[in-house]
Amino acid sequence: MKRVFKIQLHISAEPPYCFPNWLYQITFPPTVRRWIVDMEGAPGTLYEGEKFQLLFKFSSRYPFDSPQVMFTGENIPVHPHVYSNGHICLSILTEDWSPALSVQSVCLSIISMLSSCKEKRRPPDNSFYVRTCNKNPKKTKWWYHDDTC
């Protein structure tokens, strides 16, 4: 958890310069292991102006173990890789995770995923998945077969 705390201190003292202000803002709740990230859809995309929240949960094995990341709050984006319960089908959140990845790079990947979407729709198996899945999206055995939206 030392690394999570160090990242939190670094981001608080020096917000990332490479991301425009509208991309995201990190709120640090009293516990170091749970972060809320407020995001806004990028200009010129289907999600322009929409506001979303991501929940990051860090295990004691972070950064060697990926954080649990999911959308939370009132507005879960309607996207082919985002389930209505907030779970995100994105390989860097599970099997393609690397300790070199950061909260910022995860946020940028999610913003990029949303920005490349051509049609707002839920995954075809949304209803079944939401009824039967584990609360932790990392316990899902995802099948990555679609690089397009």
Phi, psi of 35 (to 5 degrees): -120, 145
CA 37 to chain centre: 8
Query: What integer pLDDT is reported at residue 14 of this predicted model?
Result: 58
**Higher pLDDT, residue 87 or 26:** 87
Tell me which residues are annotated as active site. 89
Banded pLDDT at 11 (limits 50, 70, 90):
low
Phi, psi of 12 (to 5 degrees): -65, -40
In a 3-state reduction of DSSP, which class is residue 109? helix
Question: Which one-letter amino acid corresponds to residue 66?
Answer: S
Q: What predicted TM-score, i.e. pTM, was given to this entire model?
A: 0.83
- In the chain the first and final C-alpha atoms are separated, in Å, by 36
142 pLDDT tier (thresholds 50, 70, 90): confident
Phi first, then psi: give them for residue 72, nearest 5 degrees: -145, 170
More confident residue, 148 or 35: 35
Q: Looking at per-residue confidence, does 78 or 20 come out higher?
A: 78
Matching residue, tokens 């860097």? 92
